[in-house]
């Protein structure tokens, strides 16, 4: 773990997820919402990567030859499918307790994933470079979103792609992501999220530009309580959403 004073890690946020580390791979545990959302997240991510790099997703290993960073990897819910699709995957997390959980599960699955207890800033300072950076449900937990996204930009090769997802900030997201998920459904421990740290799509788009990237796509991820399922939406970004951006080749 880097001791770089420039880190954007928020120790209190790291502690929340470290306390839940052992439950990452329990689909009925504290990370049930992520397990439920994961197929939709993967669909969005893989389609964005395929479009940017001209890959055919029906191939056996369509992401072969791409180096990918899953920042805030947790237990590896995204790192593992990316590795199965052929990418060379580095999974990084500021919570030390997540790494052994991810390593053991990857070994059990027969996957070769480079998991590290480190930060985006430390990786950037070390000169690491990636074709793809997955930045999923992290930016609302860091101390300085712009500094964090700038570190992610530094980690991208020219022409590289970043997929970021987070939660919008409005009355609906408060009711759904905090009251609903934490208090009513009890999918997450109370206090997992802070509504004041949620980021609107307009704010994230502005931060992405300031970090030196260009937005190319944004979509909502919508939960339907009647069908008990998630879907991608072109219009509804009111709660969960994802945004894709690219780094200039210049």
Distances (CA, A) of 113 to 8, 13, 65, 104, 193: 24, 25, 14, 11, 28
**Residue 1 pLDDT > 50:** no
Model confidence pLDDT, tens digit, residues 97-107: 899 999 999 99
- Are the C-beta atoms of 9 and 143 separated by less than 8 Å? yes
Adjacency order of strands within the sheet including 214-224: 114-117, 88-93, 67-71, 130-136, 156-167, 240-246, 214-224, 229-233
The answer to whether the pTM exceeds 0.95 is no
Distances (CA, A) of 201 to 193, 211, 246: 17, 15, 16
Output the six-digit token pair for 97. Answer: 């307790």
Element (H, E) at 243: strand 240-246
- Are the C-beta atoms of 205 and 243 separated by less than 8 Å? yes
Model confidence pLDDT, tens digit, residues 178-219: 655 554 455 555 656 676 788 999 999 999 999 999 999 999
Model confidence pLDDT, tens digit, residues 212-230: 999 999 999 998 888 888 9
Query: What topology does CATH give the domain 11-247?
Result: Rossmann fold (3.40.50)
Q: What residues does each domain of the chain span?
A: 11-247
Looking at the DSSP bridge assignments, the partners of residue 145 are none
Q: Calculate the average pLDDT of the chain.
A: 88
pLDDT at 32 (0 to 100)? 79
For residue 237, how many C-alpha atoms fall within 13 Å in the half-sphere facing its CB? 20
pLDDT at 4 (0 to 100)? 42
Q: Is 96 helix (H, G, I), strand (E, B) or coil?
A: coil
Separation of first and last alpha carbons in the chain:
32
Residue 136 among known ligand-binding residues: yes
Q: Is 154 helix (H, G, I), strand (E, B) or coil?
A: helix
Mean pLDDT score, 121-129: 97
- Are the C-beta atoms of 92 and 122 separated by less than 8 Å? no
Residue 41 among known ligand-binding residues: yes
**Residue 30 pLDDT > 80:** no
């Amino acid at each position: 773990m880097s001791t770089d004073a420039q880190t954007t890690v928020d120790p209190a946020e790291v502690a929340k997820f470290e306390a839940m580390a052992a439950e990452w791979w329990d689909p009925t545990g504290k990370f049930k919402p992520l397990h439920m959302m994961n197929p939709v997240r993967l669909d969005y991510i893989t389609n964005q990567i395929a479009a940017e790099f001209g890959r055919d997703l029906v191939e056996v290993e369509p992401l072969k030859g791409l180096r990918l960073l899953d920042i805030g990897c947790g237990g590896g819910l995204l790192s593992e499918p990316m590795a199965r699709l052929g990418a060379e995957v580095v999974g990084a997390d500021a919570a030390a307790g997540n790494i052994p959980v991810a390593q053991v599960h990857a070994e059990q699955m027969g996957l070769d994933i480079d998991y590290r207890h480190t930060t985006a800033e430390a990786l950037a300072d070390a000169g690491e470079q990636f074709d793809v950076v997955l930045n999923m449900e992290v930016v609302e937990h860091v101390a300085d979103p712009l500094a964090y996204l700038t570190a992610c930009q530094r980690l991208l090769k020219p022409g590289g792609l970043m997929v970021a997802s987070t939660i919008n900030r409005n009355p609906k997201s408060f009711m759904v992501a905090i009251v609903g998920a934490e208090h009513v459904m009890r999918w997450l421990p109370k206090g997992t999220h802070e509504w004041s740290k949620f980021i609107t799509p307009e704010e994230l788009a502005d931060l992405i530009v300031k970090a030196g990237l260009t937005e190319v796509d944004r979509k909502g991820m919508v939960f339907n309580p009647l069908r008990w399922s998630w879907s991608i939406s072109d219009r509804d970004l009111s709660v969960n959403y994802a945004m894709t951006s690219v780094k200039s080749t210049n």
